[in-house]
Amino acid sequence: NNIRDLKQAIADKENPLKVAHTRLDKRSLRPNVELCRDPVQYRLVGEVGEITVSIDRLRMRLAEAEASLMALLRNKERLEDDIEVKTN
């Protein structure tokens, strides 16, 4: 459940990241406007950075959760093997 939630949270962040990247790209393609650094530009760059950091953190938590799950599954298998040996 936790792993599924983390994957969903990552997926939920990807579209806003795409939107922010698209806005930045569109701003750089405006006709007759020199490339400028205005508050909107800074905010978009900041938004991309914030979303990217958030996705990176979620991916790290997902990797940790998957590693924990694998360790638990290995432990369960070992315990089941031990029980089987003891019952025979």
CA-closest candidate to residue 58, choices 1, 20, 12, 16: 12
Taking 70 as the threshold, does the pLDDT of residue 74 lie above it?
yes
Q: What does the pLDDT look like over 20-39, one tens digit per residue?
A: 999 988 887 877 766 677 88
| CB distance 52 to 17 below 8 Å | yes
Residue-level pLDDT at 75: 97
Q: What does the pLDDT look like over 42-60, one tens digit per residue?
A: 999 999 999 999 999 999 9
Residue-level pLDDT at 10: 97
* DSSP secondary structure code for residue 48 in this structure: H
Q: Which amino acid is at 36?
A: C
More confident residue, 24 or 69: 69
| CB distance 13 to 79 below 8 Å | no
Alpha helix ranges (H) inside the chain:
2-28, 39-87
